[in-house]
Structure 1
Amino acid sequence: MSDSTTIHAGSAASADPGANSYETAAARAAEDPNGFWLEAAALLEWTRMPTRATDDSRAPIHRWFPDGELNVCHNALDRHVAAGRGQDVALVYDSPVTDTVREFTYAELLDLVSRFAAVLRDKGVEKGDRVVVYMPMVPEAVVAMLACARLGAVHSVVFGGFSATELAVRIDDLRPKAVVSSSCGIERSRTIAYKPLLDEALEIATAKPEFTVVVQRPQLQAELVDGRDFDYAELLAATPEGAPCVPVKATDELYVLYTSGTTGKPKGIVRDSGGYATALAWSMPNVFGLNPGDTMFTASDVGWVVGHSYIVYAPLLAGVTSVLFEGKPIGTPDASTFFRIVSEQDVNVFFAAPTAMRVIRKEDPDGAMMKKYPMPHLRAWYMAGERLDPDTYEWTTTTLAEATGRSIPVIDNWWQTETGWPIAANPIGLHEYPLKAGSPTVPVPGYKVAIVDAAGNPVPAGNEGLIVIELPLPPGTLATVWGDDERYISSYLSAFDGYYLTGDSGYIDEDGYLYVLGRTDDVINVAGHRLSTGVMEAAIASHPAVAECAVIGVHDETKGQIPRAFVVLGDGAKDADPEALRKELVALVRSEIGPVAALKEVDVVAALPKTRSGKILRKTMREIADGRDAVVPSTIEDPEVLERIRVAITG
């Protein structure tokens, strides 16, 4: 693979002198990564400042700051209190499902975290031990994560409400000393009992934790097993003194976060301490334009990577107020919830998945709910987690402008569980580039992105190919797969020597903007023509009757594959004639892409099957359409929706 194929962050064409801050940072990160990231490490307080940036002695696995030592919790809490910012708000808990809004200052959060760390320490949790956190979106989840970091213990957050079987799989893989959980989770119309799921998981698992700690919520109390289960509030009340921070090596694990594996066995993505803290601390002012005293509202979940990075760690490391939201974008009580919080909490940067905006648009197509609340402090509206289709981008941009009377940038940013922070974004803290619909803009400094064909050969600008990243990956990205270096190498580093395979396809245009078209298995081959289902979805989504859509490739004897579309109609289009709509959508795709797309089948459905983080289960739908045994991920939001899709596909 030629070096000329690598697009270093900073190669976006621009004659604007204002771009120099981005281009200078990007060029420095590419040409002198050691010096660049050692400078970035100075954003943190270290018990032993690193003198080396990287260790490549086990290449292709690279480690960051091998001789550094620090504590991530100290950097997130203690140092801000010591600097006189103890009374500044660190965390705002907004829970419309319990009608609760509560603020925690840095001093208050430090007190809770240090005392819960003492609780865990007194029960035997030590540096290097693992702790599973199985919690809803409550402050105690943040406390548990930071308490583990304070002790040098490794936390693994499992999305609250996961099945007992999936929880047991993670417990067996991680072999934790303890589990911290809650009596229940609360949704719009139901209360989900967590403790019975935890009890069942502990019965299934062969690796038994020594104890559990349970946060008893007033909406549903759990029965505790004597000698194994302990009440969180009682333990905290009996522990008036906090535990000090335990220094750890920069290369020591901070957390393990599981993502679905192709073998069916979840992959435990390992995040280190020093590299992750450095990358996140650098990203806040430079990528997101956020500094101490600002407020960030990330509408995700701590069970996902976005929640780890931009609800918990990055805001607190940067001295920024973070909003912890327990609820849904609609139905709590309506489609105005996000905008109420942005208004009430003087939010500067909002961050959510495109799915959230699509469901809001479906319920409130004219944006009337958005316009109810003044949002004078809002500077940017970020989207990630799945592809931001141009239609959702345009609607959000237009409606925000109408609601605020200002042009609010709606910024796509692309990254993965594995990378831990953005690969590509509009780095508004360095330079705000003109936005292009369908593009997350440019590679973030530190990421050297290239586009290649299946043989690893470079492709010209504007041509689609596989997106890869030159090694070493920047700090903050995955260190390995838990307990399995070989799986890390075979899954990500073996396809092309010296490169990380992202698993996504896309292209880079003449201006250096990156376009991510979707996972490589979302590219279909119609009579020898490689077509992106994402491009077809963008065309279909532009129809005013369509609120949401998914296109999959299904097997065809003649053409190899043909596309099939599933659409969800907006509330104002429920009475549309399905056959007339099908003809309009087929004509729209033909106009946008050409007859080669061969779209003929369009199904109108009530909802699309998704994971709890909002990703549409295209792969599962494709397996059903091809008559294969469909692998249903444990993260599915509503199995009944998938069953209705199965009926629609199979007839």
Structure 2
Amino acid sequence: MRPPQTQIERYCRAGLWGTETIDSRFRANVAQVPDRLALVDAPNRESFTDGAPRRLSYAELDRAVDRVAALIRARGVAPGDIVVYQLPNIVESVIVLLACARAGAVASPLLVQFDTNEIGFVIDKLKPRLFIGGRFKKRDLADNVAALCDAAGCALVRVEDLLIGEDEPRTVAPSGRDADDVATICWTSGTEGRPKGVMRTPNNWFVTGRNMIHGAALRDGEVILNIRPLVNMAAIGGSFMSWLGTASTLVLHHPLDIGLVVRQIREERVTVTFMPPAFFVSLLKDEEMRAEADLSSLRLMGTGSAAIPAWAIDGIEREFGIEIINFFGSNEGTSLLSTPREVPDPAMRATLFPRFGRAEFDWPTFAPAHDFTTHLVDPDSGEEIVEPKRAGELRIAGPGIFVGYFGEPEMTGAAFDEQGRYRTGDLFEIAGEGELSRFYRFVGRCKDIIIRGGLKIAPAELDDLIAGFDDAVEAAFFGCDDDRLGEIVGVAVVPKPGRTVTLDDVIAYLKSRHVAVYKLPQAFLLLDALPRNALMKVQRDRLRELARAGQTGEEKRC
């Protein structure tokens, strides 16, 4: 599980990859600022999981990482083995990630929303040596997977058991693994159904970290508030790598509560955070919250995953003096960002991204601009698009792109074109002539992926699950517009003659299949037949149009 040697040598010669690992970077921070506050739990921790809120300095965190790394090894995990864990955003989620790096294990974090439908697939695919679970609200995440782990021969421990044992060894022998060995396997929705395990090395992650630090002009000792689940690019690449690269303080938050976000910003003197567009809109529309908010410490907010109203960016910058950066990324390594230095106009920054990775454009304020190349390609003809206002698939090559999908060589091969560029599946266009030719504008997706509040959902997976629903002749899932989350899941159902089907019926059936709650539909279409093209493929865009036009069943809940 390493990149090709030729790629390693090429990027090392260019100075884009090196020998630093996640553990060596963390150890350097400990040596430099041992007494600096490193990690802070959310004050409401006891309302959603076990244990009182904790605050750890770098030295205290280092001792916890030592202890957990030793305990992971003691439970039979050898360097290169896989550890799967399912934890909310608590200090232990960071400790386990760092402990895996120290022990030489491959970390594979899962969303707390995953149920046995998704977890069973992950365990069967990865064959992990160890599964670590905790509690989230009323769900005991460890008990939930006990039967799956037992059947797979995977050791199962509760996070609270892993973190005790003061008398056990606190050090581990060096793992022998380096910056080009796979460090993490994060899960992203596959267009054909089941999730895909995205493999990334420390060098991949450090490229993302550099992009964040340079692009957002981050400083030593920031106070970073993280509200995204610490399981994929948004939080690991955005918050964790920014924290690691600047020896900062990481303040954790879970689950999303905008009132609590405002409180944490005030009490912890947060300087940087990454928020969904819903936060901006809610803050500006809620007069009472806006009046009480003390955002004087906050100088930068990043956002993404859904369309951002230009008026919201303008309102936050004008009223609070906070710099807004628009991000566009993926687990595989897509990495675009739009900052006030490249795009001063908030209206433009809401929709446009600098064409980084193009030799014809110079972006002196963004050092990593030449780390990678970007191209727009006609998805049908393969022709490169160079003229404005013509949509094409964004393809990227560079040192931040992932190694491949775990156990899926054919899928990995299909993810790259003949030139070795990653096929993002995202449609962009050159924004216009003249000065606008320096920018990309997002158009849509060529993949049938629903992005609900930043979480990716494959409608094909849900189509497969609903196939056993007896009351329907056929059904299909699709993305439905939503002001708060960007998209929600919609379902179109063709009932069997004489049967009555409601949204609640569909939800109950999916719950019986133990589907993650965020994948459950919230919009409902009752149809006589599903719209299909000449090849009999369901036209999900047409379903979205029907929902947008209000031609839905009485059960629609957008």
Partner residue in 2 for 1:248: 177
CA deviation after TM superposition for structure 1 residue 254, in Å: 0.3
Instruction: State the secondary structure of the residue aligned to 1:506.
Output: strand
Report the number of matched residues: 466
Q: Residue 412 of structure 2: which of 488, 497, 501 is its match?
A: 488
Going from structure 1 to structure 2, the CA distance change for 1:522 and 1:180 (only over 3 Å counts) comes to closer
Give 1:211-230 correspondences, 5 Å limit: 211-216=155-160
Partner residue in 1 for 2:162: 232
Q: Residue 100 of structure 2: which of 121, 124, 148 is its match?
A: 148
Match status 1:120 vs 2:69 = no
Partner residue in 1 for 2:238: 310
User: Do the aligned partners of 2:209 and 2:238 also contact (CA within 8 Å) in 1?
Assistant: no
Letter in 1 for 2:168: T
CA deviation after TM superposition for structure 1 residue 283, in Å: 2.4
CA deviation after TM superposition for structure 1 residue 176, in Å: 0.6
Going from structure 1 to structure 2, the CA distance change for 1:343 and 1:397 (only over 3 Å counts) comes to farther
Letter in 1 for 2:156: T
User: Do the aligned partners of 1:93 and 1:103 also contact (CA within 8 Å) in 2?
Assistant: yes
Q: Tell me, in whole angstroms, the C-alpha distance in 2 between the residues paired with 1:401 and 1:394.
A: 10
CA deviation after TM superposition for structure 1 residue 136, in Å: 1.5
Q: Tell me, in whole angstroms, the C-alpha distance in 2 between the residues paired with 1:282 and 1:638.
A: 33
Match status 1:163 vs 2:115 = yes
Q: Residue 345 of structure 1: which of 268, 274, 277 is its match?
A: 268
Residues 41-71 of structure 1: CA distance to partner in whole angstroms, max 9, x if unpaired?
xxxxxxxxxxxxx95748xx99854995443
Partner residue in 1 for 2:42: 94
Partner residue in 1 for 2:374: 449
Partner residue in 2 for 1:468: 394
User: Do the aligned partners of 1:71 and 1:248 also contact (CA within 8 Å) in 2?
Assistant: no
Q: Tell me, in whole angstroms, the C-alpha distance in 1 between the residues paired with 2:131 and 2:413.
A: 30
Partner residue in 1 for 2:471: none
Match status 1:185 vs 2:136 = yes
Match status 1:409 vs 2:323 = yes
Residues 507-540 of structure 1: CA distance to partner in whole angstroms, max 9, x if unpaired?
12243122112212579xxxxxxxxx99xxxxxx
User: Do the aligned partners of 1:624 and 1:649 also contact (CA within 8 Å) in 2?
Assistant: no
Match status 1:477 vs 2:406 = no
Going from structure 1 to structure 2, the CA distance change for 1:341 and 1:508 (only over 3 Å counts) comes to farther
User: Do the aligned partners of 1:468 and 1:499 also contact (CA within 8 Å) in 2?
Assistant: no
Partner residue in 1 for 2:23: 73
Residues 319-368 of structure 1: CA distance to partner in whole angstroms, max 9, x if unpaired?
12222112223xxxxx422222222222222102224445x36xx72443
CA deviation after TM superposition for structure 1 residue 86, in Å: 0.5
User: Do the aligned partners of 2:480 and 2:488 also contact (CA within 8 Å) in 1?
Assistant: no
Give 1:543-562 correspondences, 5 Å limit: none
Letter in 2 for 1:304: N
User: Do the aligned partners of 1:297 and 1:350 also contact (CA within 8 Å) in 2?
Assistant: yes
Letter in 1 for 2:31: A
Residues 379-406 of structure 1: CA distance to partner in whole angstroms, max 9, x if unpaired?
222112x2323x3x4225315633x2x3
Q: Tell me, in whole angstroms, the C-alpha distance in 2 between the residues paired with 1:267 and 1:399.
A: 37
Letter in 2 for 1:74: S
Q: Residue 354 of structure 1: which of 277, 284, 287 is its match?
A: 277
Give 1:589-600 correspondences, 5 Å limit: none
Partner residue in 2 for 1:588: none
Instruction: State the secondary structure of the residue aligned to 2:518.
Output: coil
Going from structure 1 to structure 2, the CA distance change for 1:73 and 1:486 (only over 3 Å counts) comes to same
Identity of aligned residues (%): 21
Q: Residue 90 of structure 2: which of 118, 124, 138 is its match?
A: 138
Partner residue in 2 for 1:514: 440
Instruction: State the secondary structure of the residue aligned to 1:80.
Output: helix
Q: Tell me, in whole angstroms, the C-alpha distance in 2 between the residues paired with 1:175 and 1:566.
A: 36
Partner residue in 2 for 1:275: 204
Letter in 1 for 2:439: Y
Letter in 1 for 2:487: I
Q: Residue 425 of structure 2: which of 499, 503, 506 is its match?
A: 503
Instruction: State the secondary structure of the residue aligned to 2:193.
Output: coil
Letter in 2 for 1:75: R
Residues 293-317 of structure 1: CA distance to partner in whole angstroms, max 9, x if unpaired?
1122232001232122233333123
Residues 574-614 of structure 1: CA distance to partner in whole angstroms, max 9, x if unpaired?
xxxxxxxxxxxxxxxxxxxxxxxxxxxxxxxxxx9xxxxx5
Letter in 2 for 1:308: I
Instruction: State the secondary structure of the residue aligned to 2:220.
Output: coil
Instruction: State the secondary structure of the residue aligned to 2:180.
Output: coil
Partner residue in 2 for 1:595: none
Match status 1:82 vs 2:2 = no
Q: Tell me, in whole angstroms, the C-alpha distance in 2 between the residues paired with 1:565 and 1:504.
A: 15
Match status 1:616 vs 2:487 = yes
Q: Tell me, in whole angstroms, the C-alpha distance in 1 between the residues paired with 2:44 and 2:118.
A: 28
CA deviation after TM superposition for structure 1 residue 178, in Å: 0.5
Partner residue in 1 for 2:531: none
User: Do the aligned partners of 1:394 and 1:437 also contact (CA within 8 Å) in 2?
Assistant: no
- TM-score using structure 1 length: 0.64
Letter in 1 for 2:148: A
Residues 454-504 of structure 1: CA distance to partner in whole angstroms, max 9, x if unpaired?
31223354313123224xx222321111122321111x214x644321111
Partner residue in 2 for 1:585: none
CA deviation after TM superposition for structure 1 residue 131, in Å: 0.4
CA deviation after TM superposition for structure 1 residue 166, in Å: 1.2
User: Do the aligned partners of 2:106 and 2:182 also contact (CA within 8 Å) in 1?
Assistant: yes
Letter in 2 for 1:425: L
Letter in 2 for 1:342: I
CA deviation after TM superposition for structure 1 residue 270, in Å: 0.4
CA deviation after TM superposition for structure 1 residue 139, in Å: 1.1
Instruction: State the secondary structure of the residue aligned to 2:89.
Output: coil
Going from structure 1 to structure 2, the CA distance change for 1:111 and 1:516 (only over 3 Å counts) comes to same
Q: Tell me, in whole angstroms, the C-alpha distance in 1 between the residues paired with 2:79 and 2:295.
A: 44
Q: Tell me, in whole angstroms, the C-alpha distance in 1 between the residues paired with 2:354 and 2:82.
A: 37
Q: Tell me, in whole angstroms, the C-alpha distance in 2 between the residues paired with 1:157 and 1:354.
A: 25
Letter in 1 for 2:35: Q
RMSD: 3.7
Q: Tell me, in whole angstroms, the C-alpha distance in 2 between the residues paired with 1:62 and 1:615.
A: 41
Going from structure 1 to structure 2, the CA distance change for 1:567 and 1:135 (only over 3 Å counts) comes to closer
Match status 1:327 vs 2:255 = yes
Going from structure 1 to structure 2, the CA distance change for 1:499 and 1:232 (only over 3 Å counts) comes to closer
Q: Residue 375 of structure 1: which of 282, 288, 295 is its match?
A: 295
